[in-house]
Structure 1
Amino acid sequence: MKIAITGGAGFLGSHLTTAYLDAGHDVIVIDNLNNGSVNAVDPRARFYQIDIRDEKLRAILANERPDVVSHHVNQHLYEVPLAQSLLDADTHIRGLLHVLDSCVNASVRKFIFASGGNTLYGPVGEEHLPLSEETPLQPRQPADISRAAGEWYVRYYGQQHGLTHTILRYADVYGGNGKVNNPHPLNYFLHMLSEGRRPIIRGTGESMHDHIAIDDVMQANLQVLTRGNNQTLHISRGEGYTLKQLYLLAAQALGSDIEPVYISGALAEDSAIVLDNTRARQVLDWQPRVSLQEGITHLLRVQQQAQDSLNQQPQFAQVSRHSSLAHV
Structure 2
Amino acid sequence: MKILVTGGAGFIGSNLVDELINLHYEVVVMDDLTTGKVENLNSKAKFYKMDICDEDVLKIFENEKFDIVYHMAAQINVQKSIKDPIYDANVNVIGTINILEACRKNNVKKIIYSSTAAVYGNPDYLGIDEKHHKQPISFYGLSKLSPEYYISIYSKLYNLDYTILRYSNVYGIRDDKNGEGGVISIFLDRIINGKSIKIFGDGSATRDYIYVEDVVDANINSMKYGNREIFNIGTGKHTSVLELFKIIRNIENKDINVVFEDERPEDIKHSYFEINKSLSMLNWNPKFSLEQGLRKTVEYYRRN
Aligned residues: 303
Q: Aligned-pair distance for 1:206?
A: 1.8
Q: Is the 8 A contact 2:81 2:87 kept in 1?
A: no
Unaligned runs of 5+ in 1: 307-328
Whether 1:160 aligns to 2:157 is yes
Which residue pairs with 2:183 in the alignment? 185
Which residue pairs with 1:195 in the alignment? 193
Q: Which of 237, 240, 250 is the matching residue for 2:238?
A: 240
Unaligned runs of 5+ in 2: none
| Equivalence map 1:296-311=2 (5 Å) | 296-306=294-304
| Equivalence map 1:48-197=2 (5 Å) | 48-80=48-80, 82-117=82-117, 119-124=118-123, 128-177=125-174, 183-197=181-195
Which residue pairs with 2:42 in the alignment? 42
Q: Aligned-pair distance for 1:186?
A: 1.9
Q: Distance in 1 between matches of 2:291 and 2:141?
A: 29
Q: Aligned-pair distance for 1:122?
A: 3.0
Secondary structure of 1:30's counterpart equals strand
**Identity in percent:** 28
Q: Is the 8 A contact 1:32 1:50 kept in 2?
A: yes
Which residue pairs with 1:322 in the alignment? none
Q: Distance in 2 between matches of 1:273 and 1:36?
A: 27
Q: Is the 8 A contact 1:15 1:218 kept in 2?
A: yes
C-alpha spacing 1:269/1:101, structure 2 compared with 1 (3 Å): closer
Q: Is the 8 A contact 1:5 1:27 kept in 2?
A: yes
CA RMSD, Structure 1 to Structure 2 (Å):
1.7
TM-score by length of 1: 0.88
C-alpha spacing 1:219/1:100, structure 2 compared with 1 (3 Å): same
TM-score by length of 2: 0.94
Q: Distance in 1 between matches of 2:264 and 2:190?
A: 24
Q: Is the 8 A contact 2:76 2:180 kept in 1?
A: no
C-alpha spacing 1:129/1:38, structure 2 compared with 1 (3 Å): same
Q: Distance in 2 between matches of 1:52 and 1:269?
A: 29
Q: Distance in 2 between matches of 1:178 and 1:279?
A: 27
Q: Distance in 1 between matches of 2:214 and 2:82?
A: 35
Q: Distance in 1 between matches of 2:267 and 2:44?
A: 43
Which residue pairs with 1:325 in the alignment? none
Q: Aligned-pair distance for 1:62?
A: 1.3
Write the letter of the residue equivalent to 1:226.
K
**Deviation string for 1:26-72 (max 9, x for gaps)?**
00101111111122110100001111111111011111111001000
Secondary structure of 1:80's counterpart equals helix
Tell me whether 184-193 or 219-228 shows the greater mean CA deviation. Answer: 184-193
Whether 1:210 aligns to 2:195 is no
